[in-house]
Every structure is written in C-alpha cells, then in structure tokens.
Amino acid sequence: MGVNNKNAQDNIQPKGTKKPLQVLHISKKDTQKKSQDIKNETSNSQKEIKKENIAIKPQIINDDSVKEIEESYEKTNNFDISQQDLAQQELNRPLNFSEQNTNFQLERTVDEFDFDESAFLEALNANEPIGATGETITGKVIAIESDGLYVDIGGKAPGYMPKKECGLGVITNFKEKFSIGLEMEVLVIKEQNADGMVTVSARALILRQSWEKISASAKNGELINVLVNGFNRGGLTCDVDGLRGFIPRSQLEDGQDYQSFVGKTLKVAFLEVNPESRKLVLSEKKASIVSKLTSLKLGQLIEGEVIAVKPYGFFIDLGGASGLLHQSSLTNGSIRSLREVFREGEIIKALISEIDLEKGRIGLNTALLENSAGELIIDKQKVMQEATERALKTKALFDKKEQDK
C-alpha cells in the first residue's frame, strides 16, 4: 500500500559531496533604490562639469599681444650665445700666476697648527716613556720610606726602589747610607705601571756589571783568588764579586778532604761562565794549567810524550798540560793511518801554533818542520833531529801572527 507524501521530494539527500545551491533573493525595493542612487551621482557630476566649463572662459589672443610677449622675453633674456661660451671658457681655464697682468698674490698665513720639525721632535721626546726594562739611568734620591726609596729619573713619575734592591747583602744603616739628594746609577727592572712609575734596582746593576767583568776575565784566561765560604756534596762554594761560584770536587788538586778548604783562599780559573743561567763554575786544576800556558809563546818548540791517539790527532803531555796535534797540522803529505807517523809513548818535538787561555788548550804543529811535503813520513828521525834549526825559520811567521792579533 503506497503512502502519498507530498514532502518526499524535499527529504531526498543529494549524492556526493556537492553542496546545495544557495539562491540570492533580491527585493524589488533594493534594486529601485540602487538605480536611483546611480542617477543622482550622474546628475551631480554633470552639474560639476558645467560649473567648471562656465568658470574657464577662452581668451582670444591677437597678433599684437603675441609681439608684446616676445619683446618682453627678449628684454629679460637678452644675451649673446658667443659671449656665454667665452665666459664659460674663462671659468674652466686654470689660474696662471706667472702672467704679468695677474694681481693675485698667494700668501701663506700662520695658524695654530703650524710648527717646525724641531718642535715636533721635542713634543715626541716629551711624551716618550722613560725607563725601559734593562735600561741604566742616573737619578737622585728624593724620598726615603721604611720599605724603600724614590729616585728621580727624569720621568713623569719617580722610580721606586724596594729595600732589598738597594744593594748586595743585608743593609743595616739604610737611612744613613741613602740620603736625600744622593746621586746613584740604577737599572730598570720593571717598566711603567698605570701611574707612570717604574721599579729600579741598584743590586741588579751591580750583578750585571759583575757578570760583564767576569766574562771578560774568563775570555782573557785570567786567574782569580776566591775565599771558600761553604761546601755541599758536589764541591765548594765561594763568592766572586757578589756572584755565587761553584768549584766541583773533580776540579780540585786534592778533593779527598774538600770540606777542610772552607775559610781558605784558592787560586782558580773560570771553567764556565753563563749569565743567562747564572752558572759560574771554577777550577783549581785549570788554574795550574793556565799558569803553565802563560809561560808559553806562539812558535815555541816543545818536547812531549804522546799520551793518546785519537781519530782526529794526538794528545801530547807537556808536563802538567796537554797539547793537541791535529791531523791537519801533522804533515803536508797524505797518510793512510795516524799510527804510521807516531805511536803512544813516543817522545816528539812540535811547534806551538795556538794558545787558548779561556779553554786551556794548546795547538801543536809538525808540518811546519818539514822541508818538503810528506818528509815526516819518509824520514821522521831527520825531521826530529833538525827540529831546533828548522823552528828558527818559522819564527818570522809566528811573529807576524802575533802582531795581527
């Protein structure tokens, strides 16, 4: 039995994902209102255009008025094009001060920025900091404190010297030794701080001068006397111009009872001098060798025993000192082995060709005793027998070498 439903069509759902159409309802009143507004806007715009046309009235220009305008323009802009070009060329042309008709004079005026070279250098020197590390300066004591003193060194601020830097050892009468106005030489050990003050030292300057003095003495092979003030397991200690020196036990003539040398004076030579590492090593044995070397001269003929044969030459005992006869100074001939010339225990004669007091070394030479190359190898006995006479021929050579020093 069928059922008649009038709303059946309205209940049917659309298939798929399409949305139902929306119908825009426009009323008759709205359309009439919009058309009326458009008409009103059109009529208003037409009215404004008519007003503008009425306000702008065309002006009639006759031939006389055109002539008047042209004449007024010529009066206000009356110039010659050729004159304009000449004026432009005059502006572009550079000034020539050598022309006779030129009245222009270039005069240099002095302003506050003008100064000469000497003033410039003086200004630099005035602002240059005084007191670089390691610099030696002479100054005057201007103030004394309990922990140090102040020295005028010519800078913006005085130099400060701590009490421990005022000298070597312990200073008991501090204020009596350093009076106001005392002039002294100091060494800068620390550069300027934020206040422009530098730290100076008299002690550091004394030690530097001591190292310089000792280095020169060691180079010249000088011998010094030292007072032994202590000992340790390795040797003895002593004072050398404010520096601490050390004498190893192996460098003593008798190192058995070395503690007994404390308080005694020993004659020593410099074995090692190194200011950078502050190392000062002395030797009593080297002092005895150097004493013998000082009695020797270049070109002197000596006699000694071959005590060692090395790949580079022979060591000759000279009675407490040893000399080196290098293979380059042995002979002018060619040799296959050093032992075919001399052997250990053999007594030979040689010339002293070099004396190094600093290192305590003696250089020997037998090649100068040869009359011909290789003679020492061919007839060694003849060379040794005539060594005294042949040495006289070389005297002039060594005298010249001595003068060239």
Q: pLDDT tens-digit profile of 346-376? A: 999 999 999 888 888 899 999 999 999 989 9
77 lies in a domain? no
Whether pLDDT at 232 is above 90: yes
Band (135; pLDDT cuts 50, 70, 90): confident
Q: Does 251 have pLDDT greater than 70?
A: yes
Are 272 and 279 in contact by the 8 Å Cβ rule? The answer is: yes
Phi, psi for residue 346 in degrees, rounded to 5: -80, 140
Residues 266 and 309 in one domain: no
**Strands 223-231 and 243-248: what pairing?**
unpaired
The pLDDT of residue 11 is: 46
Please give the model's pTM, rounded to 2 decimal places. 0.56
Q: Tell me which residue has tokens 């059946």.
A: 8
388 with 323, same domain? Answer: yes
Residues 6+ apart with CB under 8 A from 266: 225, 226, 228, 236, 238, 247, 284
Domain boundary among 270, 289, 308: 289
Q: Do 312 and 380 reside in the same domain of the chain?
A: yes
The dihedral through the CA atoms of 96, 98, 101, 107 has a sign that is positive
The tally of domains found in the chain comes to: 3
Closest CA to 178 of 210, 134, 156, 145: 145
**Is 207 or 49 the better-scoring residue by pLDDT?**
207
Q: Which range among 29-33, 173-177, 398-402 has the greatest average pLDDT? A: 173-177
DSSP structure class, residue 249? G
pLDDT of residue 14: 44
Contacts of 27 (CB under 8 A, 6+ apart): none
Same domain flag for 244 and 194: no
- HEC sequence for 324-387: EEEHHHCCCCCCCCHHHCCCCCCEEEEEEEEEECCCCEEEEECHHHCCCCCHHHHCHHHHHHCH
How many whole angstroms from its chain centre is CA 139? 28
Q: Share the mean pLDDT of the chain.
A: 77
Examine the pLDDT at 158 and tell me if it is beyond 50: yes
Task: Flag whether pLDDT at 71 surpasses 50.
Answer: yes
The residue out of 289, 321, 349 marking a domain boundary is 289
pLDDT at 58 over 50: no
Condensed to tens digits (0 to 9), the pLDDT of residues 32-52 reads 555 555 555 555 555 554 544
Tokens of 3: 């059922």
Assign residue 241 a region: left if phi > 0, alpha if psi is -120 to 50, beta otherwise? left
Per the domain annotation, does 46 fall within a domain?
Answer: no
Query: Cα 73–79–81 angle (5° rounding)?
Result: 120
Strand pairing report for 223-231 and 265-274:
antiparallel
Q: How much of the chain exceeds pLDDT 90, in percent?
A: 38
Q: What is the pLDDT of residue 384?
A: 94
CATH number, domain at 180? 2.40.50.140
Residues 257 and 302 in one domain: no
> Is the confidence at residue 390, as pLDDT, over 60?
yes
**Same domain, residue pair 310 and 398:** yes
Lookup: tokens for 207: 């030690």
- Six-digit token pair at 369? 């005793």
Show the domain range for 364: 296-403
Which of 16-25, 118-127, 246-255, 370-379 is predicted least confidently?
16-25
Q: How confident is the model at residue 72 (pLDDT cuts 50, 70, 90)?
A: low
Q: Quick check: is 397 in a domain?
A: yes
The per-residue pLDDT for 19 is 46
pLDDT score of 379 more than 50: yes
End-to-end CA gap in the chain: 152
At 229, is the pLDDT very low, low, confident or very high (cuts 50, 70, 90)? very high
Q: How many CB atoms neighbour CB 379 within 10 A?
A: 14
Q: Which residue has the higher pLDDT, 54 or 306?
A: 306
Claim to verify: residue 278 and residue 263 sit in the same structural domain: yes
Q: Does 56 reside within a domain? A: no
Verify that 261 and 312 share a domain, yes or no: no
pLDDT at 351 (0 to 100):
94
User: Can you point out the beta strands (E) in 194-300?
Assistant: 199-201, 223-231, 235-240, 243-248, 265-274, 279-283
345 found inside a domain: yes
